Amino acid sequence: MMYKSEVYQEIRAAAAAMQPQLTAIRRDLHRNPEPGWTELRTSMRIARALTDMGCDEVLVGEAVCDRDSRLGLPADEVLEAAWRRAKGTDPVFLPQMRGGMTGVIGILHCGDGPVVGLRFDIDALPVTEADDPAHIPAAEGFRSKIDGVAHACGHDGHTAIGLGTAKLLCRLRDHLRGTVKFIFQPAEEGVRGAKAIVEKGHLDDVDVLLGAHLGGEPGRRIDAVGVGPNRTLATTKLDVTFRGKAAHACLVPEAGNNAMLAAATAVLNLHAIPRFGAAPTRVNVGRLTAGSGRNVICDRAVMELEVRGLTTEANDYMTAYAKRIVQAAAEMHGCTCGISLRGEAAGDCNDSDLCQTVMTVCRDRLGLSVEELQDEPRGYISEDYSLLAARVRAHGGRSCYFKNLTACTAPIHDPRFDFPERALVTGVTAFAGLTAALLEEKK
């Protein structure tokens, strides 16, 4: 049995020694990126790795996501094409993932104690990766081999960090008291995947939830764990279909119901929703397609919109207002409308006392540089980790979402986004060390 200080020392040393392995995993995922709900190869590799390292339970398919709570699913043809690419490569896990049932949860049982959830997102983006020699993945031969899809948000790194952390904690399990859940979440982009994991109940017994994102400016000199309010915007993504009635635009225009007019009325009024006093809000209609030809009254219009708010309350206000506008605009022009939820995230997700613990453990026990982040309104984004956190906090649990700061080459989602792979070691050290601290044996 090691002393506690030796456990932390072991974690630091083992994480550092894992660098070549972490780099190899990350590069393999980087070359084979898969967008949300098509992460079949990725999920299969995660499931296989967790099984090989001795995780007590490895959940895939129906056991991970509530089928009907998956948001923003791609078309069936897209899901089937992904299936055709992946099928035959694994007889055990893959068949359970067909039809967009991606994502993996590994569980490590180490006796009585708290339940710690660690969340890693695994999906890629519809971005064409840069192909010039200054971009390291291109120069070193691990650029995305799939046209128009790339890991431009570092989730390849997050996945590698998750697997490294799981491997290390499996090895150190005799020093842990409690349960660890390794949650490999699909479809973070567009905030689509978290809800299905929440609705399956995986967060209901989690006492502490941790998550992180790679980030940092190009010129940055020191890698660090960034901890602070890390406030995120609650958001709701909606698709709206307006249905009207076609008619000859000259002969009998009065016989039609103009879906384009309904949609246009909605667009202008959505952007005129009154501001919310207690918190900043956002609204955007990002896409509108309508009509079939010049001399036909339009009978169908499809719109993609989103609202956001710094608090869940502010976002709820925006969502309710937006739905009312859409419905009223449809009615105004004698049309009907269907509204479907395509993505969702909650507001705030960090507990300040847990943030303090994260800072102390990272700095004092793990020897990592720690940066205390200030609340930065210009940096607000949305992250569906917040939905997992909201469920944990609803029953009295705590959450901390921190940043793995390093010298990234470009902002996230940019075709040139890349990060120094030493940040993988920082990530494993932080996640494994924090879990060890939270599940410390009581003596």
CB-wise, 115 or 153, nearer to Zn ion?
A: 153
Closest CA to 264 of 330, 339, 340, 317: 330
Closest distance of CB 326 from Zn ion, Å: 29
Closest distance of CB 377 from Zn ion, Å: 20
CB-wise, 46 or 153, nearer to Zn ion?
A: 153
- Tell me the Cα Rg of the chain: 23
Contact status, residue 178 vs residue 110, Cβ threshold 8 Å: yes
Using Cβ positions, the residue closest to Zn ion within the complex turns out to be 153
Closest distance of CB 440 from Zn ion, Å: 30
Closest distance of CB 194 from Zn ion, Å: 12
Question: What is the C-alpha to C-alpha distance for residues 10 and 297, in angstroms, rounded to an integer?
Answer: 71
Question: 137: exposed, middle or buried (C-beta count within 10 Å: 0-12, 13-18, 19+)?
Answer: buried
Closest CA to 154 of 387, 380, 413: 413
DSSP 26: H
CB-wise, 153 or 169, nearer to Zn ion?
A: 153
Residue window 222-261: x/- pattern of binding to Zn ion, with contact defined by CB under 5 A: ----------------------------------------
CB-wise, 153 or 329, nearer to Zn ion?
A: 153
Closest CA to 383 of 399, 406, 360: 399
Q: Which pair of tokens denotes residue 369?
A: 């540089």
How many residues of this chain bind Zn ion (CB under 5 A)? 1
Residue window 123-162: x/- pattern of binding to Zn ion, with contact defined by CB under 5 A: ------------------------------x---------
Give the C-alpha distances (Å, rounded to integers) separating 208 from 117, 390, 395.
6, 12, 11
Closest distance of CB 188 from Zn ion, Å: 6
CB-wise, 123 or 299, nearer to Zn ion?
A: 123
CB-wise, 206 or 214, nearer to Zn ion?
A: 214
Reported as half-sphere exposure (CB side, CA atoms, 13 A), residue 173 has a value of 17
Closest distance of CB 222 from Zn ion, Å: 22
Sequence letter at residue 224? A
The verdict on 82 binding Zn ion (CB under 5 A) reads no
Residues that bind Zn ion (CB under 5 A): 153
